[in-house]
Every structure is written in structure tokens, then in C-alpha cells.
Structure 1
Amino acid sequence: MSAPPRSHGTEALSVWVGGERGKRGGWPRRVRRDSTHDVASASGIVYASFDRFPAPKGAAVHIRAFVEALGAAFGGVDLLALRDGPTASAEPRPLVEGVTYHPLEARGRDLVAQALSFRTHLAAWWRNRPRARVVHVRSIFEGYPVATRKAALTDALVFEVNGLPSIELKYHHPDVADDAELMLKLVAQEDACIASADLLVTPSEVTAEYLVKRGAQASKVRVIPNGVELEVFRHAPPRIRAPGQPVRLLYSGTMTSWQGVHHAIEALRLLREQMPAVLTLVGPLRKHQRKVMLDRCGDLLLEGAVELREPLPQAELAALHHACDAVLVPLPVNDRNCVQGCCPLKLLEAMASGTPVIASNLPVVRTLAGPDEVLLVRPGSPKAIMEAVKDLCANAELGPSLSHRARARVERDFSWERAREALVSAYETELGMTRRDTGVIPREERRA
């Protein structure tokens, strides 16, 4: 997201979240339905997300896994998400069997304009369509209009909580942290979505606890961790580094302080005082972010010790894992990681690949990996990261042991197959949905 100027950015956002200036924003007052108002009169599943799709990001990977599962199990899924760039096709098209993808627009130079644009296009798509059996949303940006019109639009609302703007927005737009009125309005929209949801899905135990503290009924919350495509992130034992070769470190994902990328860079500085080392940073960088990153890396770039790369397709990212000696997941202590919670996909993908992982010792990490599967280090400490890298280099048995155990943990608990089945099961038990005869078959039945 590009940070809007203070003169109109947070002020416009405050007006927007206050109720869209009292207007209905083009949303239908009622939708077309059959003569009887019951479950049978509703049609299909609408999965809406204010995220770009397809894209080489964790959100897009997550969306594809979930809509494919719902399409296979129930059919009739309409996926509405941002098209990936202005040159991408805007025409509806089949994604997989049972799923139709409808790329939508979100034009504007800042978050406010983009969110309003997306809501307008979403409302236009909805007009003259039958009532949905289920609407599945991933944020308040598409979820709040649905929550406030739930009776007209759908029989059931699923709110998938990966992150909440009342916590995360200030990391992208620092000015909003001082806008108490705006924060209250963001929380109010989040609370409306939480209260209206018939099912709340989250990938993190920490997030589930936070949602209950925010008023969610615990019985409505399902924790479904992120998964890994095991055939893409194939396992390989840690590479054997030749004498004199630099240690190769990898950080992938969002390049912001709330993800700890600055700790990875500082750890590299410390490590290079004792041995040759190179850090590859893979992730999206907007123009102003790139400048900040270049300034932070400084002399490391001139020395060839840091490599900046754009987001990669999953197969290329998996290959890059195997070319590195360790993957860094240096999450710091902040409200995003410790209060709201998260389920870092980069951690699971690194564990699946077999490359040893060095990660912050936080609850969101410990729910996914134990100390015999990844090296847990003190959060916020570049020195602790450096010492962990040195331990890997000094102990020839440590890396292979971590690699084997981490892969086994992912295979057991964190495949996308398992996540898909958990989602379909939640739709069945909580929403009364029935699988098609050709739908998803539980793994137990496949193995019987």
C-alpha cells in the first residue's frame, strides 16, 4: 500500500470507515431469490477478498487452496478478488472445476480510494444476482458491507481473520496510530464482522484467543493453519558448504519492521565480522520502501552481501531455499505478532524444504515448530540470530537433524490437503453444507 498524504489520507479514511458517508454505496437492498426463503433458495458460495489474485504472495496461495477445496466439495463458488495488475484480463473465467474467478478493480493512489473502488465494483457485481448460500470474506474492506446487509445477501457469513486493520494499518500508515477516532471506527467495523459471522476461520491459535477476547463465541472459531504444497516445496537435506564459501541466508516475505527484516540485516552485519556471509531478500518493495531498504543495507549492497529480489513463483522460491544454508524468520515482539497473532507461511515453507530455520521464540512460532525442528532465538536480537548461524556452521549434525524433523512436522500437520479438508469440514458442521458426490474425500477414506 502507498501511504496517503496526511492532508487527505487518514481524514478520508476516517470518513470512509464512519459509514461511507451514510450512503448505500450501490449495494442492493434485496437480491433475487425464489418464492420461498429457505436454504434451498440460496445459490452457491461467494468468496470475496481485497487481495490481488493470482500473485506470488502468501495471501494468493491461501485463497487458491481454499476456493479449490470449496469448489471441489460444494461447487458453485464465485471468487471475487483484485486482478493482478492493469494488463491482466478482467473477464470472468473458470479457475478450476466448481470455481469461477471474477477479477475486480480497485483503482486509486491510496488505500482509501482503492478500498472504495473495490467496494463499488463488488456491489455492481452483486446486483441482480441470487442470494448466496454462504459469503466468505477475508477483511473488513469487503466484509463490512456484507455484514451490515447480511439478511439481504446471504444465509451465512464466514469471516476469515488473517489480520485486522486496527492493529496492522499503523505499520503501513504510521499516521493512523495517533488518530483515536479512526481506530475506534476500525474496531467497530471489525466487531460488526465478528458479531455477524456464523463461522470465524483463522490460521493461528493466538488469533483465535484474541477473537474470543474481542467478543467472538469460541464455538464459532475454527483454527485452520496455513499449509504447504509438499510437491512444490520438496525436501532436500541441507547443502554442504565448501570451505571458504560464504554462508547464504534467506529472508522472504514482507520487508517491513513488523516482520523483522531489519533484524535479519543487522544479524548479517554482525556475522560478516567473523565469516563471509550473503543475505538474499525476496519480497515486494514499492518505490518508497525500496529507498528505505537501500539506505538500510548501505555498504552491504556495495560489498555484494545483500541481494534484493522481487517475489518469486513458488517453484523458484523452493529452489532458492535449497541454495541457502539457513532461512531467517525474525519476527519481533509487537501487537501484530503477539496480540493479534499470525501463521507465517514462510516458516512452514522453509521447514518443508529442509533448509534449517532460525526463528523468533514467540507463541505464533512455537505453535508451528518446536526447538528440535527450528532454532528458536530471542526476538529482536540480531546477535542471537548470528549466534544461531554460527552454531549451524560449527555443528555438522545440527542442520540435518533440524531438516528431517521439520519436514516430518509439516507433512503431519501443515499440508494444504489437511487445511482444505478442515475448511470443508467446518462448512459441513457449522453451516450445514453437504458435499457433492464428486467432492473432497477425507484422507482416511482415500487410504482405506
Structure 2
Amino acid sequence: MKKKLLENIILPLGDQLTGGSFIKKLKYWREVCDLSQNELNNLQKEKLSKILEFASSNSPFYKALAIPHSSDPYEWLANFPILKKQQFRDHLSQFLTTNNFEGLTAITSSGSTGPPSKIYFNKEELSSNRALQILWWEWAGYRFGNSILQTGVNMQRSKEKAIKDKLLNTRYISAMSHSEAEILRELRLLQKSPRDHFVAYASSLYLFAKTSLDHGISNIQFKSIISLGEKLLPHFREAIERAFSCQVFDTYGASEGFLIAGQCSEGTYHIYSPHLIVEILDDQDQEVNPGESGRVVLTGLDNFTTPLIRYEVGDMAVKSKIQKCSCGMDLPILGEVIGRQTEFLITPKGKYITVQNVVRIMKHFPEIGQFKLVQEVADRIRLFYTTDEQIQEIDHSKILGMFEEIFEEPLGMEFNRVDSLPKAKTGKFQLIENNLGST
């Protein structure tokens, strides 16, 4: 009853009041899931042709490239250069297809591979992305009216988000500071007031599971758990499913507005091909063979405000050998996502510093390029960073002050300016490296 009320009356009314199209988009994306492989291919081809045509005519950056038009949009796409994050970040205004910012929403990327980027969406584009996210939740068994526990980084909820939390029966808690005592309080609350689904960063989910297992708490169970934002390592998944007696559904997206792949009930990562094109390329920018790993390059098919064509997101992934999933959906399949390895640092008072903590703090310091935190002893964290040559000095005290404000305790931090940071074997810069006990 509540599901019907929300989906047929309350949420459509909300769309009317805000000028959004969330419910309309959700129903559309649900229908797309039932399309055959041939229908999905035709839809993607049609949308690709439209975005290439629009971007080439309306985006100053792509207009200046003057890529020769082709009747085959895939041939046309192949002639576009690979777009690096730094290039996009430095020339954002040249990518935008409008000078009128009224009604647009700016989303800032996570900055996990360098300074964050800003992406603009109009209301329809934003509604489409939000609907796709809910669709992934529905793959995990979510239905409107189910209760949710969700972690996030911004506890200053806007009026619109507070209403959304209320309507969707969501309890929103901070992912920025997890201590064992804080997690135990949340677990005790879950024992008294259970929730149907837990939606959180992979690191948060693991810390909740680890604390639950360490303290012998075995009476908390969810219908499903949805992981986002970070790589879900195998031992994370094992601990989470053991602690909370349910399946974990992992999702893979990029905060530039790409919802790349989500797991179905069979555990397969399905690429949402009508929303984007995923290329997995080798060092010569050629598509890798099935079973091989390569760089993830994305072309968005839904954002006409800030079109991104052949955008290298900074991750590595494996091209799937599997062509068909037993779940019944004909959406293409993605193999393993290699990037976004996750570790934790530990404060003197036992709080966990996660990748999400770090990137959210460092977003406030755009003068810093890439960075990495290393912990080798319990009371000291070393921050290595790069910055432009013309910047003479970085105010380390401000960075330290923000870390200490978030974690509410003194931290021993050392700062090291370097020319470059070494890449991890995954091909990405590993933001956190915990070497406690290894020295």
C-alpha cells in the first residue's frame, strides 16, 4: 500500500513541484531492463548518435575538434581523442553546452585520483541518474516503503533531501568518522529498530561487519546490503555477508555522473549500456580481449549539459568473458573492477580514516594535486602530495586542522611535498597505505 502511494501519488507530486522527472525516468529504465540484446544495441546506437551530434554542435571543446561526421556513430566515436581528467578540469567552461546556469545542479567528483572535477546537470538529467540508482537498489530487492540505513559524507541535509529521507524511510548517518564505540551504538540501535537495507561505502560496511563479528553480535539481519563508492574487496564481502546474513550487491559508478555497472541477483556486474558506453583499453588505446584488464574509458549518453566523450575515469577493469547472465537481463557484462583499492588508517583514539574521509577533506585544498597518506607507526601519518611548481608554500596547519576537526582528536601528521607519486600495481594511485606492523 505504501509503495503504491509513494510511486503513484507522492513522488509524482514531488516531481511536479520541483520540476523533476524521477518517477517517469524510473519507469523508463525499468522497461529498458526487459529489452532484448538487439533492442539494447539499437537504443545505445541511437543515443550515441544524438550525443555526438549535439556535443559537436553545442560544446565549444568538441566543436573545435571538428571530428568528421560518420553515419556509423561507433566509427565516429573512435575518432574522438581520449579525454584526460586534467584536461577536462582545466577547460570545464569549454565543455558546457549552455551559458545559462539557472536550474542546473553542480556535482563535484570525489577527487580520488587528483583534484575534483565539477559536472553540471539539468533537472531531467539529474532525475535520470537518481532513478538509475534506485533501479540498482531494486535489483537488490528494494521496494518503495522499505526502511534504509544509509551512510554519507554530508550530514547537512538540504530541505529537499530531508524530505526525501523521510519519504523513503531512510536513516542517514555519517561515514566520515567511525570509531568502534560509534559503530557499536548504531548496532545496538539496529537490534532495537531493524532496517530492511543497508546502503553504504564498502569501507563503512566492512567496519560495521568487523565490529559486529568481533563483539559476537549475531542478531542483526538485512534483506540486502548495497555497496557503493569504493572497491568491494573479497574479504570485505565475506565478512559483511557473514555478519548480517544477507547478500551484498555491489555497484560501480563515477561521481562525474556515470552509473557504470551494478550486480544482479546472480552477482553479475551488468553495464547499463543505454546510459553509457564502456571501453576497456590497453596502453595503445585499443580495446582489450575478453579476460584482459585495461583502462576504463566512458562516454555518457544522458548528460547533454556537460557531455563527456571517451573520458578516462582513472580505474582499471577486466573485460568479461561471459556474454549471458542467468538472471535474464541482456544488459552487457563487466568483469572485475580492479581500481579503488581500500585500506584504513587508525587514529590514536582508534577511529578509522577511510578513503572517503580523505578525499572529502582534501577537496577543500584544490592547490594540491595528487596525494597519498601512509601510516607506519600508530601515532604518525605521513601525507605525500604534489602541487604546481608556481605554488611556493602550502598551509599544512589548515589541512591538519580539518583532519583534527573531523576526528575530534590531535593527530600526528607529517607533510612531504614530492614531484610525483608512485602508482599501485592496480594502475591507480593508492590514496591510503597502512604499513602498521610491516616495519
Query: What's the TM-score, normalizing by structure 2?
Result: 0.28
Query: What's the TM-score, normalizing by structure 1?
Result: 0.28
Higher relative helix content: 1
Higher relative strand content: 2
